[in-house]
Amino acid sequence: MNALISTALSGVVMMFAGLLIGNKQRIKIVAIVVLLVAFAANLAELSTLGAGERTYYGMITVSHFSILFNAIALGATLIFFLLSGSAFEKVGEHVSDYFALIFFILAGISLASTFSTLLMLFLAIEIISIPQYILAGADKKTPKSSEASLKYFLMGSFSTGILLMGIALIYGATGTFNVAELALGAGKVNTLALCGIILMAFALSFKVSAAPFHFWTPDVYDGSPTVFTSFMATVVKAGGFIAFIRIFHGAFVGERLTADWQLLLAIITAATLIIGNFTAVFQQSVKRMLAYSSIAQAGFMLLAVISMNTFATQGIILYAAAYSVATIGIFAVMIKLKDYTFDGFNGLARTQPVLAITTTIFVCSLAGIPLTAGFFAKYFVLAAAVQQGNLLWLVITAVICAAISAYYYFRVIIAMYFKQGEAETEEINGGFKLMLIITAAIVILLGIFPGLLLQFI
C-alpha cells in the first residue's frame, strides 16, 4: 500500500516540479530523490506487516511477495534513472512530465502486485498502459514515434475490450469481483467462466507480448524513443506478469479448471518461445533484436505462470530482477551509440572497453550463461515446469530455444571484440561508466547468490 501511495504522490510531485524547476538536471535529481523515498516507504511496510498479509477495504492485499516485487520494480527504475535519466532531455522539452508518467506506471505496477478484485486488476492494467501510449509518442519530431504511439493505443484498446469482456463473463458466472471469493474450481467448471478465463488469458498475453498477440511489439519498441523502450521492455513487462500470476494462481484454481488454462497457456508459451527466438535470429538492428528477444523472454516467464509451485514463485521474482537489470544495462549502452545495428557495435571493445565488458555481462545474463543472474532465473522457471510433471515437452522446447538465443546475443559480443570498425559513441563520462559497472556487478552477484533476493519471499 505504501508503494502505491508513494509512487502516485511522486508522480504529482514531478508534475509540479516541472513548473517550479527550470534546470532539467535538477529535475532528474528530484526524480531520484522521490524514487528513493518511495523505495524506503515500500520496505518500511515490512516492519508493520508481520508474518502474514493485510487487506485494505477488500480491494488491495499486501504481502511479503508484493513488497519484494515492488522493491525490485522500484530498484530497477532507480538503475534506469541513473543510467538513462539524462537521455530524457533528447526526447523533448517535457522532462518532468516524462518522469511523472513513469511514476504513474509504477503506481499501476504496485496495484497489479496487490489487487484483490477484478476491478482493481482492470484499473492496474489501464494505469500501466495509458502513460505508455503517451511515452511511445513523446518524440514529436519523429513520425515513427507517433506511429508507434497510435499503433500501441489501438492495439491496447482492443486488448482492454477483451479483458473487460472476460471480467464481465466471470462476474456473470460467479456474481462477484473478489478474487478470493471466485472459487471457480470448487465444483463443476462453468462454461461462461471458462470463456471469461480464456479472454483474460488473451488480454494479458497481449500486455506481456506473448504470441500470437506479440505483433505490435517490434514496431512499437522500434518506433518509441529508445530510452522509454528500455523501461517498457523491462519493469512494465514484469508488472504484467505479476498480474498474470496473481489472477491465475489466486482465482483460477481447481483440478479440471487448472488443467484447461494450463494447456491453453502451454500452447501460447511454446509459440512465444519459438516465434520470439527464431525471428530474433534474422534481425539486423540490435534494438529490434531486443524487441523480439523480449518476446522470447516472455515465453520463459510464462513457464512460471503455468507452474503452480514454490519454484515458480521464486523464479518469477528472480527473472523479473535479472531480466530488468540486464536489459536496462544494454539499452543504456545502446543509447550512447550512434548506430543501433550490429555493425554499430563493431570494434567497441577497442574504443570503449568498459562499455564492451559490461555489455558482454548483460547479454550473457540474457542468454542464461552461468555466473550471471539470467542463469538462475532460467533454472528456476525450468525447474518449476519440470516439477509440474506434465510439461516436459515444453521444457525441452524452452531449452532448445535458449540455445538458439545464444546465437543472436553472441552476435553483439562478436561485433564488439572480433569485427573491424570504429563504433561511434557520444561523449561518455566517468559517472556513467561507474554506474554500468555497478549494474553489471548486480547481475553477477545475483548469479552467484540468488538467495539474496529469494530469502525475502
What is the rounded CA–CA span in Å between residue 174 and residue 367? 43
114 near 61, Cβ under 8 Å?
A: yes
What is the rounded CA–CA span in Å between residue 106 and residue 197? 26
Residue type, 164: L
Residues 293-338 have pLDDT tens digits of 999 999 999 999 998 888 888 899 999 999 999 999 999 999 998 8
288 near 311, Cβ under 8 Å?
A: no
Provide, rounded to the nearest whole percent, the portion of the chain with pLDDT above 70.
99
What is the rounded CA–CA span in Å between residue 453 and residue 457? 8
pLDDT at 167 over 90: yes
pLDDT band at 452 (very low <50, low <70, confident <90, very high): confident
Environment class of residue 393 by beta-carbon count within 10 Å: exposed (0-12), middle (13-18) or buried (19+)?
Answer: exposed
Tell me what pLDDT residue 366 has: 93
Q: Tell me the residue range of the domain where 306 lies.
A: 1-455
Give pTM, 2 decimals: 0.93
What is the rounded CA–CA span in Å between residue 292 and residue 408? 11
Tell me what pLDDT residue 456 has: 76
Residues 74-114 have pLDDT tens digits of 999 999 999 988 888 888 888 999 999 999 999 999 999 99
Report the length, in residues, of the chain. 457
What is the rounded CA–CA span in Å between residue 328 and residue 339? 18
Residue keyed to cell 565488458:
357
What is the rounded CA–CA span in Å between residue 127 and residue 107? 8
pLDDT band at 186 (very low <50, low <70, confident <90, very high): low
User: What does DSSP assign to residue 236?
Assistant: I
Q: Which residues pair with 285 in a beta bridge?
A: 341
pLDDT band at 187 (very low <50, low <70, confident <90, very high): low
305 near 197, Cβ under 8 Å?
A: no
Tell me what pLDDT residue 184 has: 72
363 near 330, Cβ under 8 Å?
A: yes
What is the rounded CA–CA span in Å between residue 177 and residue 182? 7
> Residue 224 CB: number of other CB atoms within 10 A?
30
pLDDT band at 427 (very low <50, low <70, confident <90, very high): confident
pLDDT at 285 over 80: yes
Helices (H) and strands (E) in the chain, counts: 20, 2
Tell me what pLDDT residue 209 has: 87
Mean pLDDT, the chain, integer: 90
Residue type, 227: V
| DSSP code per residue over 368-420 | T-TTSHHHHHHHHHHHHHHHHSS-HHHHHHHHHHHHHHHHHHHHHHHHHHHS-
Question: How big is the CA angle at 318 (ends 116 and 120), to the nearest 5 degrees?
Answer: 15
pLDDT at 185 over 70: no
Q: Which residues pair with 341 in a beta bridge?
A: 285
Three-state secondary structure call for residue 434: helix
Distances from the Cα of 215 to the Cα of 57, 65, 139, 203, 354, angstroms: 39, 32, 22, 14, 35
Total count of domains within the chain = 1
Largest CA-CA distance found in the chain, in angstroms, rounded: 66
